[in-house]
Structure 1
Amino acid sequence: MIYDKETKLDVLAKLNNESFVNIEIQVQNTYEYEKRCLYYWAKLYEQQLTSGKKYKTLKPAICIHILNFNFFKDKEYFMTKIKPLDTETRKVFSHDFQLYFLEVPKIPDQYYNELDKWMHFFKGASKETVMAMQTPEIEKAFSTLEYISQDPIARAKYEARRKYELDYNTDMDGAKEEGFTKGFQNGKNEGEKLGLAKGKLEIAKNLLANHFSVEMISKITDLSISEIEKLKNS
């Protein structure tokens, strides 16, 4: 399942106990990922407190990071759970802050529990392996992924997204080498818009070259018919 160049899947959920959970799949170790994790948690917690609400209404914010790289170099076990605690008594200060890191490269060859099974699924378990797990939820997830993979529109949109992320990473590497990382980060939002628009045009060109209809290309790229016709005649 984990095959993209950079990121990712983001899922925001609310549990029965009203805790908020953000799940992120991250394919490669990006710049200042540790800071980014803390920022994501802070936003998840802070956004609960809308105008007029009291602090006591805040619910636990849980961030789960599924990583396709080794983040904790000095640790062999694939799961790491982080909470704030008193460094002397080791007593947890608050259960509202929870970070979980699941490192795919460290999972055992065999699965022994439900978490192990899910990790094998995220790593890209075959259909035979998934069926042998005898876990309906994972079978459903596998079937859904299989369906999306066979849908030409969904697949083409994925390729457009993938190309944009590859271009973005290349630009980011160049910016770092030239010492412009800070400025690049500040302009990232605008750059993403421009990069995505450019990526759509490139995808449209490729689809035209492969004899896709104008209507189909419009559905895939979200470009207008007139934009594609103009590209076709250029």
Structure 2
Amino acid sequence: MQQRRRRYAYFQKSWSAEFVPRTLFYWAKLYIDSFKEGEPYTNLTKCITINLVSEGFKLNTQVHSVYSILEQKNCQLLTDLLEIHFLNLAQASQERIPMKPIEKKQKLIHWLQFINADNKEERTMLAATSPILQMLNEKIDVLSLSPVERKLYESRMKLKSDIATISEVQFKSGLELGFAEGEARGSRQAKLETAKTMLTMGYPVGDICKIAGLSPAEVDAL
């Protein structure tokens, strides 16, 4: 039977003296959290804490280090129930590795560099190495949009959904002409919604016409 385990992840902007006792405290709470009175101690499950440190990590110079309980002379492992991981984001940012990762370590470093990236260009470059990072990068880009840009983005996404829905229905029924007409209606509706949003936010009519693709008369009629 596969061994059960519990994980806890924690992010710290900068290293401090209280970090080690705090991560031990969180590990201890997690270790006994589900333990019930009267149960045998063998029911306790493996617990892993993962600490991401952005700046000033003091324990070593490794990107990823793992601590456990060892005998002091021969370094014999006492138990595998305790694992405390540290991921050094500052050290990962200094690593220079190929942009097409092959090894597991390379993927980890790219992931840490992505987390610690300060600008969009760097994030985009790192996102190209992984489908998951690419998906996360797209989510970050959407969250970074201004209110107007987000409205425009949502309008475009709605238009794509309308076109996809119409396409599926018409494909099943074989009405190609009906699809073309439905696509045109969906496109115009998205333009009108975009223009309405920009009007409520006080944009000049000229700017609205350029972005929404409508004539001044169509905008005035809204």
State the TM-score bracket (shorter-chain normalisation). 0.5 to 0.7
Aligned CA RMSD, in angstroms, stands at 2.5
Cα–Cα, structure 1 residues 59 and 27, in superposed 2: closer, same or farther, change >3 Å?
same
Report what 1:157 is aligned to: none
- The residue number in structure 1 matching 2:160 is none
- What code does the residue aligned with 1:45 have? Y
Is the contact between residue 114 and residue 127 of structure 2 (CA under 8 Å) also seen in structure 1? no
For residues 1-234 of structure 1, the aligned pairs below 5 Å read 17-30=3-16, 32-72=18-58, 75-107=60-92, 108-110=95-97, 113-124=106-117, 126-133=122-129, 135-150=130-145
Counterpart in the other structure of 2:208: none
Summarize the Cα distance change of 1:32–1:53 in structure 2 as closer, same or farther, 3 Å threshold: same
CA radius of gyration, larger in: 2
Q: 1:49 to 1:150 in 2, by over 3 A?
A: farther
Count of paired positions:
136
RCO greater where, 1 or 2, for CA within 8 Å and sep 6 or more?
Answer: 1
State the secondary structure of the residue aligned to 2:14. coil
Change (3 A) 1:127 1:103: closer
2:114–2:126 Cα contact (<8 Å) kept: yes
Aligned twin of 1:220: none
Give the share of equivalent positions with the same residue, in percent: 19
SS in 2 for 1:68: strand
Q: State the 1:140 CA deviation.
A: 2.3
Q: Deviations over 1:133-176 (max 9, x none)?
A: 1x122222223333334486xxxxxxxxxxxxxxxxxxxxxxxx
Aligned amino acid, residue 141 of structure 1: L
- Which of structure 1's runs of 4+ aligned residues deviate more than 4 A? none
1:82 to partner: Cα distance:
0.2
8 Å CA contact 1:68, 1:103 repeated in 2: yes
> Does the residue aligned with 2:128 lie in a helix, a strand or coil?
helix
Task: Specify every segment of 5 or more residues in structure 2 that has no aligned partner in the other structure, as ranges.
Answer: 148-222
What SS does the corresponding residue of 1:147 show, helix, strand or coil? helix
Which SS does the other structure have where 1:24 is aligned? strand
User: Structure 1 residue 31: deviation in Å?
Assistant: 5.1
Contact 1:68 1:105 in 2 (8 A): yes
- Hey, what's the Cα distance between the residues in 1 that align with 2:17 and 2:7? 23
Structure 1: tracts of 5 or more residues without a match: 1-15, 153-234
Whole-Å separation in 1 of the counterparts to 2:27 and 2:72: 21
Q: Output the amino acid matched with 1:118.
A: W
SS of corresponding position for 2:90 = helix
Kindly state the Cα deviation for residue 84 of structure 1 after the two structures are TM-superposed.
0.4
After TM superposition, the score normalised by the length of structure 1 is 0.52
Q: Distance in 1 between matches of 2:37 and 2:135?
A: 40
Counterpart-to-counterpart distance in 1, 2:16 and 2:142? 30
Q: 1:34 to 1:131 in 2, by over 3 A?
A: closer
Q: Take 1:98 and 1:78, find their aligned partners in 2: how far apart are those partners?
A: 16
Relative to the length of structure 2, the TM-score reads 0.54
Q: Distance in 2 between matches of 1:51 and 1:137?
A: 42
Could you tell me whether the CA contact under 8 Å between 2:9 and 2:51 is conserved in 1? yes
Deviation at 1:53, TM superposition (A): 3.0
